[in-house]
Amino acid sequence: MLRLLSRMSIPENIPPGRAAFAIITKPREAEIIQPYKKGVYHHSSKAGPSGSKRPRIEDPSESGNKSICTKIVNSMPDSKYLSRRNDLDRILKYLPSYVNEQYVTAAFAKSTWDRIKSALKCIEKFAIHTNTHIEWPMSKAFLHSFTHWALSTKDLSHCTVKAYLHDISLVHKLKNIDHSNFNDFLLTTTLKGAENLELYENLHKKGKPTITIQLLRNIGTEIAKSNLSKLDKQVFWASLTLAFWGSLRMGEVLAKKTNQLATETLTWNDIEIEDDSCLVHIKFPKVSKKGGDYVQIFKVNGVKCCPVRAMKLLKELSGKIDGNSSPFKLSNGKFLTQSLFSANLKLWASPYRSKDFIDRLTGHCCRGAIPRILASRPDLADEDDISVWGRWSSEAFKIYAKKSKMSRKVIFDKIKDIVLTQKF
């Protein structure tokens, strides 16, 4: 277990080019944050050889003090709340010695830890580029300089810079040091100004598109005409129709890696196929909850894109079923991933849509398909229907109702009726 680092400053004898990595735990005793090849950071009390660009790289196995919990986590595949300990060394080194690293690690999703690592890398690049010392806690002047550099020199969006600052603030909290400078009024005002200026750059920017029933069937035609094997065709078609009708996120359906399944990945054990419906168990939805989510999807007749029929046929073609394996396993033994799904989706949709549409098309296009259909008929469906079907806990679903022509037409008709009954 690594000890809590106290407030740090940089001694005068550290060269500016290595200032980003120099820290102090005791007066006049410098430590070096040493980067490993895969972005994992470790501490050494020895500086690198004179004139070298980077300090000596040490083998993390030399420490010999890994706990049983660490070994268990490292032996498991990457999962949402099970991040490999070696991948988080550069962050967890800031924790006090009395804190249990396993529980702190599980408090945030793996994507959050990845973003924090990116924020730390960006801070280090800033320090090297500007010959600036990194001092903890970070001063207002340092944060303002970093923000200006990230927005102007690196040309990062205000959203990215804001996220990085939030993540560095979280590191301060993990380090148990003062983080009040991140709430500085001038800092937040700078980010607000950057956000306003970006509005002029994105006047005609369009959001992510959603696919329609007609486009779904067109894609089905292209899949049928492709040179894929019968099993591979059904794998793509079943995953597409299931995500479309269930308003599922592709990350809830498909594997992240072609040769490895994470704990969160959908398996045959998570799917119950009945005569007229299909029950899907999402073990780890975006908003995590005990027991996850259960999504019931029903048979659809007369549209030639029924998800229940597609899953039944996929089960037949898959032969002997391994309950712990992904339903969407290709004939070459590899799992269908989000990136492969999106690449083929663009290919099959390209004959029917513009280049601009295809460039913006992602696997997320299935997420808003049914909510948009529901929003188009406010006389049959309301906001509660959209929220329940899409499993939204926030008001994000309202964007579909706001963009719906029919929804606005119903509201405008009410406005017109009110106006016509008024006496002017």
Q: Give the start-to-end residue ranges of the domains of the chain.
A: 16-201, 213-364, 368-424
Q: Which CATH superfamily is domain 213-364 in?
A: Intergrase catalytic core (1.10.443.10)
The rounded percent of the chain whose pLDDT value lies above 70 is 73
| Residues near 233 by beta carbon (within 8 Å), at least 6 away in sequence | 223, 224, 226
Higher confidence at residue 152 or residue 87? Answer: 152
Band (87; pLDDT cuts 50, 70, 90): low
Whole-number pLDDT of residue 402: 58
Which of 8-17, 182-191, 276-285 is predicted most confidently? 182-191
pTM for the full predicted model: 0.62
Residue 292 burial (CB < 10 Å; 0-12/13-18/19+)?
middle
271-273 and 29-35 strand pairing: unpaired
Whole-number pLDDT of residue 1: 34
Band (360; pLDDT cuts 50, 70, 90): confident
Dmax (CA) of the chain? 89
Condensed to tens digits (0 to 9), the pLDDT of residues 300-325 reads: 888 889 999 999 999 999 988 888 99
Closest CA to 327 of 411, 377, 270: 270
Band (73; pLDDT cuts 50, 70, 90): very low
Judged against a pLDDT cut of 50, whether residue 195 lies above it is answered with yes
The CA distance from 244 to 250, in Å, is: 10
Band (62; pLDDT cuts 50, 70, 90): very low
Judged against a pLDDT cut of 50, whether residue 39 lies above it is answered with no
Whole-number pLDDT of residue 88: 67
The CA distance from 219 to 357, in Å, is: 14
Judged against a pLDDT cut of 90, whether residue 168 lies above it is answered with yes
Q: How many other CB atoms are found less than 10 A from the CB of residue 177?
A: 17
The CA distance from 145 to 247, in Å, is: 43
